[in-house]
Structure 1
Amino acid sequence: MEFRHLRYFLVLAEELHFGRAARRLAISQPPLSLNIQQLEASVGARLFDRDSRGVRLTAAGRAFRESATALLAQAEAARQLAREIEAGAIGRLRVGFVGSMLYRGLPQTLRGFEAAYPGIQVALTELNSQEQIDALLHDELDAAFIHTGRVPDSLQATRVHAEPFVCCLPADHPLAAQPELALADLRGEAFVLFSRKASPDYYSRIFDMCAAQGFYPQIRHEVRHWLSVVSLVSQGMGVAVVPAALARSGMAGAAFRPLAGTAVRSEVYCVWKTAPDHPARDNFVAMVAAQAASKKAVRQEKATGTVADGL
């Protein structure tokens, strides 16, 4: 039994006339008769009565008609589902992110993606960089936003964001009264630092920034999320060097000041596993990369004075 047999059967069941059914199917009458005979032989039951009075469905034919209709509907639904999945228009996308991405445009990116692909269900999970890499390797995430481009060979990474570091201090700290700080101003202060285990790249970057200014940070607390860093600082438990985006967190009790004399930047990479095939993930990564390229072009135009500062 083939789907062709079912389609021919249903058209004949509607027309109850071989000539009209053949014309609807754009075939001649003999092939239609042959296909109906093949279907009846496959089913093992007579589906039509044929005599001088015309063509009629048998009791078996009437019962088979319901099943054939359902089978074809299921087959069409399966074909449609396969096409939509191949196009990345339906399915589920698991995205990991570091907390600072909440202030680096991730919500806007997700709204744009969900508007373009309403059939994709996006599930977010906040994890540190190393946890996201592990989750990608174990197929527990489809895409991730992390603070390092150094990833295993089975993963791909593209930089999507870069910004300066700033100093984060308790709002009542004496240095908070200054409009700008040098990193050396933090010599002797107790530091709250992102955990080395959670993000070794960030830990090393901040440590090296301080070392380049002639001192090593006195690390008092290590935590696993950037918002935890800011929260501890806001409660007077130390100072920190954080990505500039965290100044938009609105954390009461924390003050953020630009850092002078350092060119080191905070970076974010979008990372994904090259296999298995995942069209929805590929569409998401393409959108993220396009947005990053657009923002970079705008920054370059601003730098050359070809775009108004308000843009």
Structure 2
Amino acid sequence: MATSAAAAALSRVELRHLRYFLALAEELHFGRAAQRLAMSQPPLSVALQQLEAAVGARLLDRDSKGVRLTPAGESFRTSAQALLGRFEDACAQAREVQAGEVGRLRLGFVGSTLFHGLPDWLQAFQASHPRVEVVVIELNSQDQIQALLQEELDLALLHTDRLPPALACEALYDEPFLACLPETHAAAAKRRVALASLSDQPFILFSRRGSPDYHARIVEMCRQQGFYPRLQHEGRHWLSVVSLVARGLGVSIVPAAFREAGIQGAVFKPLAETMERSRVFAAWRQDSAPALREAFLAARRGG
């Protein structure tokens, strides 16, 4: 019964009633309180009567000497101040969330971005948005696409712009592909490597399942040079591909960023032919809120 009565009272009370009451509780004078609230005295009196009726208790004593708070009014004053304070805090937090100043950003990334400025980018964003929690998850491009569709990621850094209609993207940067060879390979000492010269070599490629677009691009690069790569191994992450090359299990074509990975046993050489470049995109759901995403992308642009 008490709970239902409180709910009924709350449905009849507006925030203005609380503000009017608190102004009167400070001024203890209807005329001064009305002036402070920029209103006439009669509507103020009506509003206080409505508040008392909704609360179910007399909050003010009025007589010829002025206005005094009743014990119930003193108690209600404390609660009303706390309630308004919480409401104002909630409004401030909502504005901050909308502006991208607080919240949680779930960020997916492909491994190459670690060697192309992602750590500095994250640091710059956290410095300017200390109240945003950033959760970073390394996934291949295909897994990031699925995570976006299932609303498990807010933003994805991936190697393809071939996306379902529910997703949107923007290009971040591109870089050349390099030949990745074991350091003992005969071509490791050359300044440049002709892709066609690797036609008889076992290839280690990025998994077709992990990134069908990237896998197809490298196969097409080889086809344009007159051969199809002899696939020996597949890796679900580029670092796995480079590590397998370093162990002498084959050769590969990888984004230039991986020469910064510091994996012993692998060397990286420019291709003699002019090839398409490796591209990285930021992707997100079309229906997602833009504030945190735009704030994070702006940190990379220096905005």
Taking structure 2 as the reference length, the TM-score comes to 0.90
Equivalent residue number for residue 144 of structure 1: 156
Report the alpha carbon displacement of residue 213 of structure 1 after superposing the two structures with TM: 1.8
Q: Who is 2:142 aligned against?
A: 130
Residue 89 (str. 1) matches residue 101 (str. 2): yes
1:252 paired residue number: 264
Q: Distance in 2 between matches of 1:278 and 1:211?
A: 41
- 1:210 Cα deviation from its structure 2 partner: 1.5
Match of 1:210 in 2: 222
Which position in structure 1 is the counterpart of 2:176? 164
SS of structure 2 residue aligned to 1:267: strand
Q: How many residues align?
A: 291
Matched, 1:74 2:86: yes
1:19-64: CA deviation from partner (whole Å, max 9, x where unpaired): 3322322223222222111111111110011123332111111111
Task: Report the Cα distance in structure 2 between the residues aligned to 1:146 and 1:276, rounded to whole angstroms.
Answer: 18
Deviation at 1:180, TM superposition (A): 1.4
- Indicate whether 1:224 and 2:200 are aligned: no
Q: 1: CA distance between counterparts of 2:103 and 2:175?
A: 33
- 1:191 matched to which residue of 2? 203
Further displaced range: 6-15 or 103-112: 103-112
- More displaced 10-residue stretch of structure 1: 221-230 or 32-41: 32-41
Task: Provide the C-alpha distance between the structure 2 equivalents of 1:277 and 1:266, rounded to a whole number of angstroms.
Answer: 29
Residue aligning to 2:280: 268
TM-aligned CA deviation for residue 109 of structure 1? 2.4
Could you say what secondary structure the match of 2:164 adopts? coil
AA of the residue aligned to 1:280: L
Structure 1 residues without counterparts, runs of 5 or longer: 295-311
Aligned mates of 1:63, 1:138 — CA distance in 2: 49
Name the SS of the counterpart of 2:127 in structure 1.
helix
Secondary structure of 1:280 counterpart:
helix
- C-alpha offsets along residues 180-216 of structure 1, whole Å, 9 cap, x if unaligned? 1111222222211100110111111111212222222
Task: Find the aligned partners of 2:184 and 2:237 in 1 and give their Cα distance.
Answer: 23
Q: Secondary structure at the match of 2:176?
A: strand
Q: Which runs of 5+ in 2 are unaligned?
A: 1-12
Post-superposition shift, 1:98? 0.6
Quote the Cα distance in structure 1 between the aligned partners of 2:133 and 2:286: 21
In structure 1, C-alpha distance between the alignment counterparts of 2:133 and 2:266, rounded to whole Å = 36
**Which amino acid is the alignment partner of residue 191 of structure 2?**
P
Question: Secondary structure, in 3 states, of the residue corresponding to 1:208?
Answer: helix
User: 2:5 aligns to what?
Assistant: none
Alignment partners' CA distance in 1, 2:165 and 2:35: 59
Are the aligned partners of 2:115 and 2:257 in contact in 1 as well (CA < 8 Å)?
Answer: yes
Structure-2 residue corresponding to 1:24: 36
Q: Deviation of residue 69 (structure 1)? A: 0.9
CA contact (8 A) 2:221 2:275 kept: no
Aligned counterparts, 1:96-115, within 5 A: 96-115=108-127
CA distance in 2, matches of 1:277, 1:187: 48
User: Structure 2 matches for 1:30-69, cutoff 5 A?
Assistant: 30-69=42-81
What is the SS of the residue equivalent to 1:8? Answer: helix
Deviation at 1:173, TM superposition (A): 2.3
Partner of 1:237: 249
Contact 2:204 2:250 in 1 (8 A): yes
Question: How many angstroms does 1:285 deviate by?
Answer: 4.1
Q: Normalised by the size of structure 1, how large is the TM-score?
A: 0.88
* % same residue: 57
Aligned CA RMSD, in angstroms, stands at 1.8
1:114: Cα distance to partner? 2.7
Alpha carbons 2:180, 2:251 under 8 Å: kept: yes
Amino acid at match of 1:87: A
What SS does structure 2 have at the residue aligned with 1:136?
A: helix
SS in 1 for 2:133: strand
Distance 1:190 1:115 in 2: 46
Deviation, 1:93, is 1.2
